Amino acid sequence: MGSSLLTNSAAMTALQTLRNVSASLQTTENRISTGQRVSTASDNAAYWSIATSMRADNAALSAVSDSLGLSAATVDTEYTALTAVVGDKTGGLTKLQALLVEAKTAGIDRTKIQADITQIQQQMKGTANAATFNGVNWLSATATTPATFNLVSSFSRVGGTPTIGSITLTIANYSLYTSTQTGILDTVSGTASVDTINISALTDSAADQTTIDGFIAQVTAAINSVASAAADLGAVKNRISTNTDFVKTLMDSVDRGVGQLVDADMNAESTRLQALQTQQQLGVQALSIANQNSQSILSLFRN
């Protein structure tokens, strides 16, 4: 093909090649600067959409993780208080039971024993009132305390349908005191509740001894109920701990999955960058040579 003054085919080819190399170079530079091979929908619409949804799921899982942390702290507060109310030989219901057994002794000063009993009763009530975390108290229930309490425990999404898992607790199972006196320690059985037991006026008479036996049975039943409530919260604590570990592991798995879809291979991109830079330099040189062909045509018309 002869030389043309109007159409420089070699220059057009070199320019097109240089444009393609420049476009590829820009893409590679974007991948290196962002660390992603799919950073916008235009890079790969399908992968970008999947990655965006998975990132949204991970944000929800992060919220679940935070909620589990709050739930764990709440449950631990109530569990600790219940354990303290069960007590041991130095306090709580266990000590109260021992004092009542001691009160069965003929001729003993029950007024002095009652002084200890009163202190234990006040201490248990104070413990229940203090078992508050973030405004939540299940042991000392008021008229505004909900009947059930949901602890968010999981998040999953199938297609476009999200599912929020929760642990539902029935507050009545843990309430020691209530505004209607239906708690474990303030429910009246016979003549008194555990919270109002008073033996100071009792004597060695058979009738009074029977009353003390009733108080002992009442406290023993309360120990079983409070211990059962504490055991239930202990199981909930373990479940929350397991869920927390799983959610954190799941979040890491989702992060890895997103990375597989959109992250750039920096080793490959670095190698590609060097190759494209070389091609760009060669393209510029080829375009320069092609443009010089037009100049050579002028020499044919010179004297």
pLDDT tens digits for range 218-263: 999 999 999 999 999 999 999 999 999 999 999 999 999 999 888 8
Q: What is the pLDDT of residue 6?
A: 57
pLDDT tens digits for range 100-130: 999 999 999 999 999 999 999 999 999 999 9
Q: Which domains does the chain possess?
A: 20-35+264-291 (no CATH), 48-262 (1.20.1330.10)
pLDDT tens digits for range 159-193: 888 899 999 999 999 999 999 999 999 999 988 99
pTM: 0.78
Give yes or no for residue 1 having a pLDDT over 70. Answer: no
pLDDT tens digits for range 19-53: 888 888 887 888 788 888 888 888 889 989 999 99
The span from the CA of 171 to the CA of 139, in Å, is 8
Q: Is 129 left (phi over 0), alpha (psi -120 to 50) or beta?
A: alpha
- Provide the pairing of β-strand 161-170 with 148-158: antiparallel
Of the listed ranges 4-8, 67-71, 111-115, 296-300, the one predicted with least confidence: 4-8
Mean pLDDT of the chain: 89
Neighbouring residues of 196: CB distance < 8 A, sequence distance ≥ 6: 121, 186, 188
- Average pLDDT, stretch 148-156? 91
Give yes or no for residue 266 having a pLDDT over 90. Answer: no
User: Would you tell me the crossing angle of helices 9-34 and 266-298 to the nearest 10 degrees?
Assistant: 160
CA-nearest of 21, 43, 104 to 263 is 43
